[in-house]
């Protein structure tokens, strides 16, 4: 068994991926299918790592063509299969699984003529012959439109986009560079946007173990927004001061927090603290 035929597709995948950056950087090439099996090439879904899995027939491209014709055929067939991969990848990334299909349908102007893509898909599924299913399938229409965008080869499906190749290529490039919905770019909060509050100096009574606890009122923070509490021991005196363990937990309504500390070097006395909170 070999992947010689499949590896030719991989070269096109790596080239097209630079233009359609939403595609994963690599793909999986399965062992070439036997001569005589259906189709020149196919995509077998995505693998467990989310990479598209392609399989090419071992005798593709056929002998008896010039090297130029063979290279062209590989390019065109690869472009079709790689557009299927784009279809699968985009379906995973949208707010609803087929958002890009809807965009494609609008862009192609198919709605008034054929109805929604779901209507057409149902119609395709009802076709008895595989060839008629293929002609009507929205997924095949999309794959052939991508093929035309990338290579200029004519579309073969009933639902085809009658636009110039450069316009189609630009549209696919924009679609395939769609930012991920799963990983939105989040702007880090700016310093000025942060709500902050800091207490004045607090005197807190300690017990015989140097433990203390006090409830402190907070102003100016927003209820329900998680707040990070900060506490700091200040005004240390004495020959062997220890920094006690301490926490300042802010209540959910952000109107007060509780300072808790243990093991202060001041026993049965007063230690001094400052607390704060950031949202």
Based on the shown chain and the rule CB under 5 A, indicate whether residue 89 belongs to the binding site for Zn ion: no
Of 140 and 264, which has the nearer Cβ to Zn ion? 140
Q: Is 77 in the site for Zn ion (CB under 5 A)?
A: no
Closer residue to Zn ion, CB minimum distance, 133 or 272: 133
Site for Zn ion contains 23 (CB under 5 A): no
DSSP states along 213-272: EEEEE--SPPTTS--EEEEEEES--SSS----EEEEEEPTTSSEEEEEEE--SS-SSEEE
Applying CB under 5 A, does 56 fall inside the site for Zn ion? no
Interaction between residue 159 and Zn ion (CB under 5 A)? no
Task: Answer yes or no whether residue 153 interacts with Zn ion by CB under 5 A.
Answer: no
Q: Which stretch binds Zn ion (CB under 5 A): 86-94, 134-142, 159-167, 263-271?
A: 134-142
Contact 16, 23 (CB under 8 A): yes
Residue 76 binding Zn ion, by CB under 5 A: no
Q: Which is nearer to Zn ion, 143 or 153 (CB)?
A: 143
- Residue 230 burial class via C-beta count within 10 angstroms: exposed 0-12, middle 13-18, buried 19 and up: middle
CB-based closest residue to Zn ion: 143
Q: Residue 140 Cβ, how far from Zn ion at the closest point, in Å?
A: 5
Q: Is 143 in the site for Zn ion (CB under 5 A)?
A: yes
- What's the closest the beta carbon of residue 134 comes to Zn ion, in angstroms? 7
Q: Cα dist. 63→60, 67, 83, 256 in Å?
A: 8, 9, 26, 80
Tell me if 254 contacts Zn ion by CB under 5 A. Answer: no
Question: How near is the Cβ of 80 to Zn ion at its closest, in Å?
Answer: 6
Among candidate residues 60, 16, 241, 3, the one with its CA nearest the CA of residue 149: 16
- Per CB under 5 A, the segment of 2-10, 16-24, 133-141, 243-251 that binds Zn ion is 133-141
Nearer CB in complex with Zn ion: 90/266: 90
Cβ-proximal residues to 154 (8 Å cutoff; 6+ apart), any chain: 148
Site size for Zn ion (CB under 5 A)? 2
CB of 70: closest distance to Zn ion in angstroms?
A: 20
Between 158 and 202, CB nearer to Zn ion: 158
Question: What are residue 212's DSSP bridge partners?
Answer: 261
Distance CA 253, CA 173 (A): 47
Scanning 23-31, 139-147, 249-257, 270-278 for contacts with Zn ion by CB under 5 A, the matching segment is 139-147
Task: Write down the residue that tokens 């499906």 correspond to.
Answer: 157
Minimum CB distance to Zn ion, residue 32 (Å): 18
Got the DSSP string for 57-103? BTT-SPTTS-HHHHHHHHHHHHHHHHHHHHHHHHHHHSSSTTHHHHH
For residue 65, the tally of other CB atoms under 10 A from its CB is: 12
Q: Does 150 bind Zn ion (CB under 5 A)?
A: no
For 33, which DSSP code? B
- Contact residues: Zn ion, CB under 5 A: 140, 143
């Amino acid at each position: 068994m070999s992947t010689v035929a499949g590896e030719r597709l991989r070269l096109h995948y790596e080239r097209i991926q630079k233009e359609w950056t939403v595609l994963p950087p690599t793909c999986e090439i399965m062992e070439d299918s036997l001569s005589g099996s259906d189709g020149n090439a196919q995509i077998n879904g995505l693998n467990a790592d989310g990479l598209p899995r392609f399989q090419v027939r071992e005798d593709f491209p056929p002998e008896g063509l010039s090297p130029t014709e063979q290279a062209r055929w590989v390019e065109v067939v690869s472009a079709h299969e790689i557009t299927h991969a784009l279809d699968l990848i985009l379906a995973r990334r949208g707010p609803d699984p087929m958002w890009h299909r809807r965009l494609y349908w609008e862009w192609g102007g198919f709605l008034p003529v054929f109805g929604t893509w779901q209507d057409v898909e149902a119609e395709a599924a009802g076709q008895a012959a595989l060839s008629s299913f293929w002609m009507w399938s929205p997924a095949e229409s999309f794959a052939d439109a991508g093929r035309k965008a990338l290579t200029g080869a004519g579309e073969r499906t009933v639902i085809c986009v009658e636009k110039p190749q450069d316009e189609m290529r630009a549209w696919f490039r924009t679609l395939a560079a769609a930012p991920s919905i799963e990983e939105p770019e989040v702007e880090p909060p700016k310093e000025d946007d942060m709500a902050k509050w800091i207490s004045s100096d607090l005197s807190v009574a300690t017990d015989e173990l140097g433990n203390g606890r006090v409830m402190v009122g907070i102003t100016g923070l927003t209820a329900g927004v998680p707040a990070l509490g900060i506490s700091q021991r200040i005004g240390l005196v004495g020959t062997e001061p220890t920094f006690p363990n301490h926490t300042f937990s802010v209540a959910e309504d952000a109107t007060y927090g509780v300072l808790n500390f243990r093991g202060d070097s001041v026993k049965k006395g007063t230690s001094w603290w400052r607390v704060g909170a950031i949202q």
